[in-house]
Amino acid sequence: MSLNDPNSASVSSQLYSPFWPLFAFFAALSYLQATYLVADFPQLRELKGARSELENSLTQSRVVSRLIDAVSGELLAMAAQSSEAAKIVAEFKIQLDKPSDPAK
């Protein structure tokens, strides 16, 4: 079969074109990604709600931590003068640590 043959035009029109299968494939992938994206929005709201709850808990824990630091500091200061304070310090093994880095 030569290139100048009039019958070769009918053979070339019967060649397989990958356009439509590839188009269908990418359309299906786009559809799936869109559904995943839409499904992620409720989870995003849940994550934001959980983050706000954790921020409240973190604030409360910082307050408790500062209170414990203040009380233990006072107890250590009193331990030098009071035997009962020294007994509490020894019983609970209270010691003065380096201050932690401030939260960012």
Which pLDDT belongs to residue 31?
Answer: 97
Backbone dihedral angles phi then psi of residue 47, each to the nearest 5 degrees: -65, -40
This prediction has a pTM of: 0.50
Residue range 10-47, pLDDT digits in tens: 555 567 889 999 999 999 999 999 999 999 999 999 99
Total Cβ atoms within 10 A of residue 27: 10
CA dihedral 2, 4, 10, 12 (to 10 degrees): 70
